[in-house]
Structure 1
C-alpha cells in the first residue's frame, strides 16, 4: 500500500494531468469549430496540434501516475523511471509537432494561404490562449510540490500552445491587414522554438533513464555532508547516478577501525540520513571501512 505522501502526490499528479486533458479537449473543440467555419488554416493547424497534446496528456494521466506506486515483486526498486519515460514521450511529441508546424509554415510561405477574416477567429484564439495559460499555471503550481518531469513537460507544452496561438493571431491580423503571409512566417519562428523545447525535454529525460552521473557540484555536496560528521576520517569510491529522477548514492566511508560495532552501526545510519536529506537524493548506501589500511589509495581520491 502506498504511503500517505505517495498517495497525496499521486492525487495531485492525477488532478494536474486531468486538467491538461480537459484543457486540450476544450481548445480542440473551440479552435476546430472556428477554423472550419471560416476556413482558417492557422486555427485548424493549431487545433490539430492540440490533438497530439491531448494524446500526450492522456499518456501522462494513464501511465505517469504509476511512478508513485510502491515497490513490488516485479519492480523491487520502485517505478521511478516510468515518469521520465513518460516525459520523454511528451518531448518527442513536442519535437515532432514542431517539425510538422515548420513544414506547414514553409508550405504557406511558398504557396500562400486563404482565409476569411472574422472577429470570431480572434475570439477563439483569445479563449485558447486563456485556456492554456490557466492549465499551465495550475500544472506549475501543483508541480512545485511534486517536481515531476512529466508534469514539467506538460507545462512546457502548454506554453508552446500559447506561442502557436499567438502565431495564429498574427496570421489572422495579417489577413485583416491584407498581409496573409504573416501567418506562415510567424508560425515558422514559433515552430523552431517548439522543436528546441521538445529536444531539451528529451535530452534531460534520457539522462534520467540511462542512469547518468551526477554533476560535480552534486558530488561535492554529498562528500561535504559525509565529511562533516565528526567520526568520518575519509571518503572514497563514491558513485552517484540517476535512478529515475532521483539520485542513488553508493560510497565507502572511513572511520576508526576500533570503533564498537553498535556505534559504527549508529554512525552508518546517521550518514545515510544525512545523504538522503540532500536535495534530489532518493537513496544512499554507505559502507564503513577502517581508516589507515590504504586499500583505496589507488582508487578515486576524495579524501
Structure 2
C-alpha cells in the first residue's frame, strides 16, 4: 500500500544508506592498503568489490530517498519506480566490477602476478572486513524491517554476500601460509564469480518492478478475495494486477446490482477501492462497476445498438479472467 511517507521514514532510509557508504569506505581503505602492501589479489578483489558497494550505497543515498516524496505534476503516480531503478544500477555496477576482478584473478592464476608476501595483517584485514560487513548487514536489516525498501534490501544482501566473499579471500590467504600461493588468485576468481552472480540477481529482480510485470499468483488471489468480501459484489472479471515500481496497481471490473442508485454505486466503489488500498504493497486501484448480467460493450456483436450489447447479449468474460 502506498502511504504518505513522512520525513522520519525518509531520514531513516537515508541514514541507513549513509552508514553503508561509510562502512564500505572503511573496508576499502583497510583491505586496499593491506592488499597492495603485500600483493594479495584476493584482498584487492574483495576491496574492489566494496568499491562497487560504495558506488551502490551512494546511488541509493542520493536517489533512493525520492521514493518517499509526494506525487507531483511531473510524477502524478509518485516516485516509487525510482527505488528499483537505483537498485538496478547497483546490480549493473556490481556485475561490471565483478568481471574486471575476474580478469585480474585469471591473470594471477596463469602467473601474471607475483604471489603475496606472508603477513598476519592479511588475515587481520579480512577479519575486520567480515566484522564490518556483519554490523552493516544487521543495522540495515533492522532499519528496513518496517520500511520494506527494495534498495535497502539489496544493500543488506550485498553486505551478507560480502561476508561470504571475504571468507573465500581468507581461504586464499591461508593458502599463502601453507605454501600454496595459487589459492590466492583462485579465491579472487571465486569472489569475482559470486560478485557477478549477485549483481545479476539484483538486476533481474528490479527489472520485474520496472517493466510492470505481473506479480505472483498469490497477490492476484488476495486481491480477488478482498473484493469478494464485500456483500454487494456479485462477480469479478477483467482483473489485472501489475507492478508499478515496487507497488502493485490494480485494475478490475466488478459486477453489482444494476438497480442500485448512482449514490449507492459510488459508495460501493469507494469501499472497494479503500479496502484494496489497505492491502500490503497495493498502490493505485481502478474499479469499474458493471450491472450484473448485462455483459460488456467490447463483447457486443457488430449489430448492437450504438456499438453496445443489448441486455443479456455478448459472450461475458469468465469470472476473474485477466485482460
User: TM class, shorter-chain normalised?
Assistant: over 0.9
Q: CA deviation at 1:123?
A: 0.9
In structure 2, the residue matched to 1:279 is: 280
Aligned mates of 1:14, 1:72 — CA distance in 2: 21
Aligned mates of 1:164, 1:196 — CA distance in 2: 12
1:237–1:299 Cα contact (<8 Å) kept = no
In structure 2, the residue matched to 1:74 is: 74
| Number of equivalences | 301
Unaligned runs of 5+ in 1: none
Aligned mates of 2:153, 2:225 — CA distance in 1: 30
In structure 2, the residue matched to 1:50 is: 50
In structure 2, the residue matched to 1:27 is: 27
In structure 2, the residue matched to 1:177 is: 178
2:88–2:206 Cα contact (<8 Å) kept = yes
Change (3 A) 1:59 1:137: same
Higher share in helix: 1
Change (3 A) 1:120 1:300: farther
1:41–1:113 Cα contact (<8 Å) kept = no
1:81–1:208 Cα contact (<8 Å) kept = yes
Provide, for residues 65-117 of structure 1, a one-character-per-residue CA deviation record: whole Å limited to 9, x for no partner.
Answer: 11111011111111111000000000111222222232222222211641111
Aligned mates of 2:88, 2:265 — CA distance in 1: 43
Higher mean alpha-carbon deviation, 92-101 vs 204-213, is at 92-101
Aligned mates of 1:5, 1:67 — CA distance in 2: 9
Aligned mates of 2:159, 2:75 — CA distance in 1: 32
Higher mean alpha-carbon deviation, 52-61 vs 293-302, is at 293-302
In structure 1, the residue matched to 2:234 is: 233
Backbone CA RMSD of aligned residues = 1.8
In structure 2, the residue matched to 1:126 is: 127
Provide, for residues 171-210 of structure 1, a one-character-per-residue CA deviation record: whole Å limited to 9, x for no partner.
Answer: 1111111011112223333332222221111111111111
Higher mean alpha-carbon deviation, 277-286 vs 94-103, is at 94-103
Change (3 A) 1:299 1:29: farther
> Normalising by structure 2, what TM-score?
0.88
> Normalising by structure 1, what TM-score?
0.93
In structure 2, the residue matched to 1:302 is: 319
Aligned mates of 1:138, 1:149 — CA distance in 2: 15
Q: CA deviation at 1:37?
A: 2.5
Q: CA deviation at 1:234?
A: 0.5
Aligned mates of 2:232, 2:97 — CA distance in 1: 56
What's the secondary structure of 1:259's corresponding residue?
Answer: coil
In structure 1, the residue matched to 2:92 is: 92
In structure 1, the residue matched to 2:37 is: 37
Aligned mates of 1:99, 1:299 — CA distance in 2: 54
Aligned mates of 1:42, 1:139 — CA distance in 2: 26
What's the secondary structure of 1:190's corresponding residue?
Answer: helix
Aligned mates of 1:39, 1:110 — CA distance in 2: 16
What's the secondary structure of 2:250's corresponding residue?
Answer: strand
Higher mean alpha-carbon deviation, 126-135 vs 264-273, is at 264-273
Residue 195 (str. 1) matches residue 196 (str. 2): yes
What's the secondary structure of 2:145's corresponding residue?
Answer: helix
What's the secondary structure of 1:146's corresponding residue?
Answer: coil
- Residue correspondence of structure 1 range 236-255 to structure 2 within 5 A: 236-255=237-256
Aligned mates of 1:288, 1:244 — CA distance in 2: 26
In structure 2, the residue matched to 1:166 is: 167
Change (3 A) 1:298 1:180: farther
Asked which structure has the greater CA Rg, the reply is 2
2:214–2:242 Cα contact (<8 Å) kept = yes
In structure 1, the residue matched to 2:216 is: 215
Q: CA deviation at 1:163?
A: 2.2
